[in-house]
Structure formats: C-alpha cells, structure tokens
Structure 1
Amino acid sequence: MKFGISTFVNDDGIRPAELARAVEERGFDSLFVPEHSHIPASRETPYPGGGDLPPVYYRTLDQFVTLTAAAVATERLLVVAAINLLIQRDPIHVAKETASVDLVSNGRLVFGVGAGWNLEEMRNHGTDPDTRGAVLDERIEAIKAIWTTEPAEYHGKHVDFDPIFSRPKPVQQPHPPIYFGGNSKATVRRVIQHGGGWLANPFPIEQLTTRIAAMRDGAGRDVPVSVFGVAKDEDVWRAYQGLGIERAALFLPTRPRDESLKLLDTYAEQVAKFQRG
C-alpha cells in the first residue's frame, strides 16, 4: 500500500508548490486536493461530518490551479483531484483543464469526481440537486469522449454538443484514471458502469469491506481503491492493507509553512516505521 497526503490548500497555509515538493521529498507518492468553488452564506445544508463547517472549507484555492502548481514543482508526485465537483463545472472546460494538467505533469493526474453534498452550492451553479447523479454520469461520458476522440460529440439529456475539436489530449492513454467519491449503491453502480476506481473517505472498515466487495463482484475486476483523509493510526493502515487498498492519503491539517513541514516530517517517520514492519 502506498501513502499520500490529503489537505485543504488555502490562502493562509503553505503554498502549493512548496507543499508538493515537501510531500515528494519525504517519500509520499501523491497529493490529494479537494475543492469548493464557494460556501453559500445561508449554510442550510448540514456538514456531513457533523457540527459546524470547518473554516478550511471557506478558503480553498482553485483545484486545477493548485494541482498545476504541484505538478510543475515535482517530478514523480501524483496530483489527485479529491474530489472534483464536476456537477458544478462545464464538461468541455473540464476536459481541457484536466488534459492540460495531465500534459504539464507528464501523465500524473488522477481525476476524482463526485456528486457533491452542499445543495445550495450546486444550485448556485444552476444544478438541480435532484438530477446531480444523472448530470455526473453524462458529464463523465462527455469528457471521456472529448479526451479520446476527435472530433468529439455527445448527445444526452443534460449534456449535448455537436462535433468539436479540443486539444490538448491527455498524456495518459486512453485517459487519466477516474475515481468516484461517495458511499452509496449509486457509487457502486457508477464505478462499475464507468470502469473507474473508488475514492473513499475513511469510513469504518466494515463499510469499506462491503462496498469494495460489491464493486469488485459487480465489475468482475480488481477495482482500485484509495482512501483520503486518513488518520495516523497504524491499526487502520493494517486493515486497509488487508482489504487490498492501493493508497492511503494521510490528512494534513492546513497550517503555515514551518508547521506543515514539521508535521510532514512526523508523518514520514511513522510511515517509514510502518513499512519496515
């Protein structure tokens, strides 16, 4: 099992390029970056984690800008959209943005997507929360068409465009790996339908076990699974290994430069010790 780092990259924390270099230098293989375009002031939708919405949600840098900065500052680090709120973005733009990140990173983009949880946020983008699952499915299909064909076209209920030319194409063939966030039967179906992987939150081991089994049985293949936001708990890491999870992205609190580097040193030491057995 490989180890990465997941964190909210904010305007009051360590800058993305220096963070990415520090993550790579300490032996981690990936950097997972979430996104929120904004947080509606109404705060009607409850935070899934319970309680008040953590302050880090309010100050996130743009995801693709962050991933680009991380990519050009490193040589081997995977840059992971974790997750991209595709239901709030135009798929033609996203196809170009992701292909561009894959190009400048020389094929190191992992594209995690999800249907989102903040209903007011998606409504602000013109997305009906009741259709967000169907919108996500069509936008993924449309993006894959743009990535892999030229001219590309797509005709669905929520996404519809006649033949277009779009460059660049991704470096990775046939396209960057796609991982789906969520924890539902719809998530299982989506992973199976689109041939992707699962990008999971650190759910209880029992939930992870059930979902992974359903995905792998339904897909008839070894569905890749990464978990992000992982705690520094070696018992949990061992359980992940037992489930065949490919990557655990440890949660790094958003802190200024010096504190972030010290935390990364601590994490790297613990991971090295764990890997030595």
Structure 2
Amino acid sequence: MEIGVVTFLTDYGITPVELGRAVEERGFDALFLTEHTHIPTSRESPWPGGPELPTRYSHTYDPFVALAAVAATTGRIALGTGVSLVAQHDPIVLAKTVASLDRIAGGRFELGIGPGWNVEEMAHHGVDPARRTARMLEHVEAMRAIWTADEAEYHGRFVDFSPIWSWPKPTRVPPVLIGGGGPTVLDRVLSHGDGWIPLRVPVSGLDAFAARVAELRDRAADTGRGPLPVTVYGASPRPEALESYAAAGVDRVLFELADHGPDGTAATLRELDALAR
C-alpha cells in the first residue's frame, strides 16, 4: 500500500516547491492538493465538517499551477488533485491545463474529481447544483476526447463543440479518480473513472468500506476491467489503522496535513517528519 499526503496548500503556509521536495525526500509516494476556486462570503451552504469554515478554504493555491511547480522540482512522487471541482471549469481549457501539467510531470499526474458541496460557489460559475454531477461526468468525457483524438469533438447536454485541434496531449491519459462515498459513487467510478478516492473512511466503518471495495472489484471484473485502485483521502496514520486499510484492499492512503497558520513551514516539516517515522 502506497502512502502519500494531501493538503490545503495556502498562500500563508509552506510553498509548493518546499512542500513537494519535502514530501519526496521523506519517501512518501504521492502529493495531492485540494481545490476551491473561491469561497462566497454568503456562507449559506453548510460545511460538511462543522459550523465554522476554516480559513484555509479561501486561501488555497490553484492546484494545477502549484503542482506544475512541484512537478518541475521533483522526479518520483505521484501528483494529483484531491479533488478538483471540474464542473466549475471550462472543459476545453482544463483539458489543456491537465495535459500540460502531465507533460511537465512526466506522466505522474492523477486527476481526482468531485461534484463539490458549496452551492454558492457553483452558482458563481453558472453551474446548476442539481445537475453538477451530470455536468462533471460530461466534462470528463469531453476532456478524454481532447486528450486522445487529433481532431476531438463532443456533443452533450452541457458541453458541445465541433472538431478542434488541441495540443499538447498528455504523456498518458491521466487516471481519473472519482471522489465521494454516497450510495451511487461506485456506479460513477465504473462508468467514468480509473479509480476511487473516498473521503475520510473512519476505522469504525472499515468493515462496511471493505465490502464496498470488494463490490467495486467484482463489478469491474464482471465488465472486463482490471482492478480499480482505491485511494483514501484523510486516512488515520495509526499503525493499526494502516493495517486495516491494507486488509480492506486500499491501494494508497493520503494523510491530510494540518493547517499550521501563518509562517507554518517549520511546523509542516515537523509533521512530515513525524508521519514519515
């Protein structure tokens, strides 16, 4: 089982290059970054994590720009989004961004995606919250067409364009990891994904989670696909928890780094040292 980290990389914390080098030097396998384009001040959408939305949500780097800097200064670790809100992006523009990043990274990029939770954020992008998942899946289809065809075109409900030329193409078609833990998420993983990235699976729920991993593998085999990897976002670093994740069939865990506030570089490095041990 591989072990990586995921974080809200902010303008007041450790820099992208410092973090990427530190993660690679300490032997971790991956670095994933979160995404929010912005946070509306209305705060009408309840945050799933509690009553008060942490400051880091409105201070994150663009993950694709930050990961390009990390890609240029590392050589081994996998790089990914955990998760990108692709429905809020123009798919033609995002397809080029992802392809460019993957080439800079030498084929190390993985696109973790999710529909999002902040209704006002979506609305600012012109996204109907009731249709955000369907839009997300169409964007994935359109981007795959652009990544793989010399003359790509796509005609859907939310995305519609006639044949286009768009280079560069990615080094490989980036794996798309579908985020979420709802009752229909495995359907989306099987129809549009190359892997699953569930969020914060509690140790107390690992038996039920293991059954879902087994279901995913069985359904993938039934459709002629190979095993679809599972990456757990926000895993517990306790040794007994890691053993349980591995026993459940998890392929990779991501430890979420804490927000150490302004000038928190030294504290972040100490946290990475502790996790590495």
Q: TM-score, normalised by structure 2?
A: 0.93
CA drift of 1:68 comes to 0.7
Runs of 4+ in 1 over 4 A off after TM superposition: none
Structure 2 unaligned spans of 5+: none
| More divergent stretch after superposition (135-144 vs 43-52) | 43-52
Q: Secondary structure of 2:134's partner?
A: helix
Which residue in the other structure is 2:122 paired with? 122
| Contact 1:32–1:228 under 8 Å retained in 2 | no
Which residue in the other structure is 2:247 paired with? 242
Q: Secondary structure of 1:176's partner?
A: coil
| Equivalent of 1:199 in 177, 197, 200 | 197
Cα 1:195–1:13 change in 2 (3 A) is closer
Which residue in the other structure is 2:269 paired with? 261
| More divergent stretch after superposition (124-133 vs 218-227) | 218-227
After superposition, residues 155-174 of structure 1 pair within 5 angstroms as 155-172=155-172
| Contact 1:82–1:113 under 8 Å retained in 2 | yes
1:154 aligns with 2:186: no
Q: Which amino acid aligns with 2:186?
A: V
Q: TM-score, normalised by structure 1?
A: 0.93
| Contact 2:146–2:166 under 8 Å retained in 1 | yes
CA drift of 1:263 comes to 1.1
Structure 1 unaligned spans of 5+: 270-277
Which residue in the other structure is 2:217 paired with? 216
RMSD of Structure 2 on Structure 1 (CA): 1.2
Deviations 1:77-117 (A, max 9, x none): 11111101001000001100000000001111011011111
| Contact 1:5–1:31 under 8 Å retained in 2 | yes
Deviations 1:193-226 (A, max 9, x none): 1242001112231442243233222222422000
Q: Which amino acid aligns with 1:117?
A: W
2-structure distance, mates of 1:236, 1:93: 40
Which residue in the other structure is 1:58 paired with? 58
Report how many residues are paired. 267
1-structure distance, mates of 2:83, 2:266: 27
Sequence identity (%): 45
| Contact 2:10–2:56 under 8 Å retained in 1 | yes
2-structure distance, mates of 1:53, 1:217: 38
Which residue in the other structure is 1:134 paired with? 134
CA drift of 1:126 comes to 0.1
| Equivalent of 1:226 in 228, 231, 242 | 231
Q: Secondary structure of 1:136's partner?
A: helix
